[in-house]
Amino acid sequence: MRYFMALEIPQNCQKQLEGVQRQLKEIIPQIRLTDSPKLHLTIAFIGEQPDYLKEDLRKIIVKAVGGIPPFTITPGYIDGFPHLHSAHVFWVGAKGDIDKLMIIRERIKDGLSHLGLDTDERRYVPHIAIAKINGNFQLSTEQEAKLQNMMLKEFAPIQISSIKLFESVPEEGFHHHNTLAEVPLTSS
């Protein structure tokens, strides 16, 4: 199975992100938009692993969220990987109670290390991938000005009350995501 751990984006925020995607598509017509049901904020990408690890991965999430009450994040800005000017992926960055998200992320990395799984050591930036682009894309000055004028201030905060373990299943060149486990956040 191809595993990842993430925050699911509620439908009301998906609708808001669709508006951002439409604006982005007008500015950069050649992008491929992420389907709304696939919008999520990844905490850890685990990749291809044996099926029997599913329960161990769920336990890592349970331990990682221990003592952390529900919290909120808010989509706040547009950027890209590796950077906005020559992005392969466009994303919306999150702000808000990021400290809680970072604690969960570090605990998950520790748990994955204990299982002997590789962890991404790059600086973690909480984000929601909204589009991809192929080739050697370069953002023009005009496109950059339009992106800077896009307003993300109207986003409603996203209430985070659980972390999910997903599998990513390839299907005709695309992937669909199945929820394998959902672990609620509680303060106790």
Q: Say what the pLDDT of residue 151 is.
A: 60
Q: What is the pLDDT of residue 135?
A: 80
As a whole number of angstroms, the distance between CA 38 and CA 41 comes to 10
State the pLDDT at residue 146.
85
| pLDDT tens digits in sequence order for the chain, 188 residues long | 889 999 988 888 888 899 999 999 999 999 999 998 889 999 999 989 999 999 999 999 999 999 999 999 998 888 999 888 889 999 999 999 999 999 999 999 999 999 999 877 778 899 999 999 988 889 888 988 888 777 666 788 889 999 999 998 877 666 778 999 999 998 66
- Locate the domains of the chain by residue range: 2-184
> Is 127 known to be catalytic?
yes
| Third-level CATH fold of 2-184 | Cyclic Phosphodiesterase; Chain: A, (3.90.1140)
41 Cβ contact list (under 8 Å, min separation 6): 6, 7, 9, 73, 94, 126, 127, 128
Residues 6+ apart with CB under 8 A from 15: 36
Q: CA of 145: how far to CAs of 27, 86, 119, 139, in Å? A: 10, 15, 36, 10
Of 40, 83, 85, 88, catalytic: 40
Of 85, 127, 175, 176, which one is the catalytic site residue?
127
Q: How many other β-carbons are positioned within 10 Å of the β-carbon of residue 122?
A: 7
